[in-house]
């Protein structure tokens, strides 16, 4: 396992991190299975665990808390808030009112007295940067969080938040957590350069592209990824973007074979090779999944393999642009464009 400094914090984190989104109802993972995954991840050298209050409506945090009991100090613990928690309109977003409550709820579920990295799960367009950053700064000064970061923010919002922190003399986001894979490379043209400019740590999610790069999606075979059960549209091969992805996957599989790599090693080795990336979040549901992903921990792709990947999916290109999660709200909601 490689270890890297998380931005400018001085904190050392593993180049692969354990994402706990599948813990609980979403991934049909029991507590015993979640604990076994945490045990194996720590034994494999992972020291960063990432979850969120939204994952299975808090169940993931509860499972993580039970799994890490007695060894909290050995783990860099990250969670997130801002996505809706129930139907109450103020149980979401980046307001001080909600973040104070959400953090206390997360601390209770996790069974800890502080979070190492508290992240805003999505940019909240209805709340000012000053409001969110001042709340997070106060929570940091109270000792409830050590650092805070953003997740899936557009590049211009990352810049705006850095400016707001400086303008109002507040602590700043020290990390960004975007989606990034061989098949979705758009952040190379904007988010990653901005993160480097501000010295932010980058924890990327979905490096296996929801299973497209795990070997579970191949031409002429039944699709064998859990994501296809509740996101069937993302695997519908009548959709042009999905056909483009499948064609790329078949070419990438040949590159991996010629290099003596698994698809997982190619995919994880690719994202962790980018100089802006600190750690790649893996989200295994089973121990077999975890072990196949840990096998990529020390994968270093040679230049000819990286060049071969670039020839298949060009730098800065998203093969499924409709699945981006940092699109400005006005492009998704006509009323916001035309009000």
pLDDT, tens digit, 9 for 90 and up, residues 191-224: 999 999 999 999 999 999 988 999 887 776 766 6
pLDDT at 230: 65
Using 50, 70 and 90 to split pLDDT, how confident is the model at 228? low
pLDDT of residue 224: 64
Please state which of the ranges 21-30, 84-93, 284-293, 319-328 shows the lowest mean pLDDT: 319-328
What's the mean per-residue pLDDT of the chain? 93
Tokens of 23: 């813990």
- At the topology level, CATH places domain 3-210+268-303 in TIM Barrel (3.20.20)
What pLDDT does residue 187 have?
96
pLDDT tens-digit readout, 153-198: 999 999 999 999 999 999 999 999 999 999 999 999 999 999 999 9
What is the model's pTM?
Answer: 0.93
Q: Which residues pair with 80 in a beta bridge?
A: 119
Q: With 0-12 CB in 10 A as exposed, 13-18 as middle and 19+ as buried, what is 122?
A: buried
How confident is the model over 254-259, as a mean pLDDT? 97
pLDDT at 236: 81
Note the pLDDT of residue 234: 76
What is the pLDDT, as a whole number, of residue 325? 76
Query: Dmax of the chain from CA atoms?
Result: 57
Residue 31: exposure state from Cβ atoms within 10 A (0-12, 13-18, ≥19): middle
Q: Which of 55, 118, 147, 173 is catalytic?
A: 55
Question: Where are the domains positioned within the chain?
Answer: 3-210+268-303
Give yes or no: 147 in active site: no
pLDDT at site 158: 98
pLDDT of 139? 98
Structure tokens belonging to residue 274: 């980018």
Residue pLDDT, tens place only, 310-335: 999 999 999 988 787 777 777 777 77
Q: What is the pLDDT of residue 216?
A: 80
Strand blocks (E) in the chain: 3-5, 12-14, 16-19, 48-50, 76-81, 115-120, 145-151, 175-177, 201-204, 279-282
Per-residue pLDDT at 193: 97
Any residues with CB less than 8 A from the CB of 178 and at least 6 apart, and which?
A: 151, 152, 153, 187, 191, 192, 202, 204, 205, 326
% residues pLDDT > 90 (the chain): 84
The pLDDT, as a whole number, for residue 330 is 77
- How far apart CA 68 and CA 300 sit, in angstroms, is 30
């Amino acid at each position: 396992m490689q270890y890297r400094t998380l931005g400018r914090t001085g904190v050392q984190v593993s180049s692969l991190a354990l994402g706990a989104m599948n813990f609980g109802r979403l991934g049909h993972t029991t507590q015993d299975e979640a604990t076994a995954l945490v045990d194996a991840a720590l034994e494999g050298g992972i020291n960063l665990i990432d979850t969120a209050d939204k994952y299975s409506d808090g169940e993931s945090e509860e499972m993580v808390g039970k799994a890490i009991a007695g060894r909290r100090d050995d783990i860099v613990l990250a969670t997130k808030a801002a996505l809706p928690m129930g139907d109450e309109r103020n149980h979401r977003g980046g307001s001080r009112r909600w973040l104070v409550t959400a953090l206390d709820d997360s601390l209770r579920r996790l069974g800890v007295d502080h979070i190492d990295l508290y992240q805003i799960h999505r940019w909240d367009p209805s709340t000012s940067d000053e409001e969110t950053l001042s709340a997070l700064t106060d929570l940091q000064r109270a000792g409830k969080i050590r650092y805070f970061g953003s997740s899936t923010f557009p590049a211009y919002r990352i810049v705006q938040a850095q400016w707001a922190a400086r303008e109002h003399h507040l602590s700043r986001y020290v990390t960004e957590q975007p989606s990034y894979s061989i098949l979705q490379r758009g952040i190379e043209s904007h988010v990653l350069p901005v993160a480097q400019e501000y010295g932010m740590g980058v924890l990327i999610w979905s490096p296996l592209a929801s299973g497209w790069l795990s070997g579970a999606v191949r031409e002429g075979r039944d699709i064998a990824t859990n994501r296809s059960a509740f996101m069937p549209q993302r695997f519908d091969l009548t959709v042009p973007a999905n056909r483009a992805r499948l064609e790329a996957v078949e070419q990438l599989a040949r590159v991996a074979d010629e290099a003596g790599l698994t698809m997982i090693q190619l995919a994880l080795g690719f994202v962790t090779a980018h100089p802006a990336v600190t750690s790649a979040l893996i989200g295994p549901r089973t121990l077999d999944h975890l072990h196949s992903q840990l096998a990529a921990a020390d994968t270093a792709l040679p230049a000819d393999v990286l060049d071969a990947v670039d020839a298949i999916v060009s730098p800065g290109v998203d093969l499924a642009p409709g699945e981006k999660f940092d699109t400005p709200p006005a492009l998704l909601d006509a009323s916001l464009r035309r009000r």
